[in-house]
Copies of this chain bind each other. A is one copy, B any other.
């Protein structure tokens, strides 16, 4: 973790187009910019841990983080992956609670930290509140949908689903491999299976020429059939 003040003003930051801050006017943005702090995290570092009291929210300027939780059984489960433009910690700030999830950087990251007090001031701003409400509301919908998928679909279906998701959301490198590198264990934690289960299913996908694997990297070859597997149309 490293604090750094060589940063741009929020008013001219394009990231805000992606989150609730786009509901703010120049004045409010300027106020935020005056107090924000840019913080860097290296891949693998912990941004915050479940149960921690946050003193503000983090706007992701670059990089991605997994939001996960250790279950009573001691297994880790990834609930979601947050990336550029998302606000971390907003939920716990709204409910005035400690965080519910661990946040661990999946890549090197740059975050803008905005203290609690400033966010609370913004709660006077109706359009900001509305944007926040819509944002949380959409997250709730996504969470509900993932819940149903997890409950009702097989490992094979969920793996197909997550590969397509990673490919769509994080893009691919020059050779077509998914840009965001996740360990097998992490893919397992994402779909709720063991790393071995995940590895075996990936091999089977490779045999069927649905994907290609080079070392740790994964490339989707037959997206259509992966989709069909996800939807249970073929197996």
Contacts and interface: CB of A to CB of B under 8 A. Distances in A.
A198 to B, nearest CB: 13
B153 A71 contact: yes
Contact of A141 (B71, B95, B129, B151): B95
A144 interface: yes
B73 A140 contact: no
A4 interface: no
Interface in A125-167: 126, 129-130, 132-134, 136-141, 143-153, 157
A91 B140 contact: yes
Contact of A151 (B77, B144, B231): B77
A137 B133 CA distance: 9
Q: Interface on chain A toward B: helix, strand, loop, or mixed SS?
A: helix
Interface string A64-101: 00000101110101010000000000010011010011
Given A126-B129, A133-B94, A150 B152 contact: no
A176 interface: no
Nearest to A231: B72
Given A75-B152, A151-B192, 19 more contacts: A71-B148, A71-B149, A71-B151, A72-B153, A77-B152, A79-B147, A91-B137, A91-B140, A95-B134, A124-B126, A126-B126, A136-B137, A140-B143, A143-B147, A146-B147, A150-B150, A150-B151, A150-B192, A152-B192
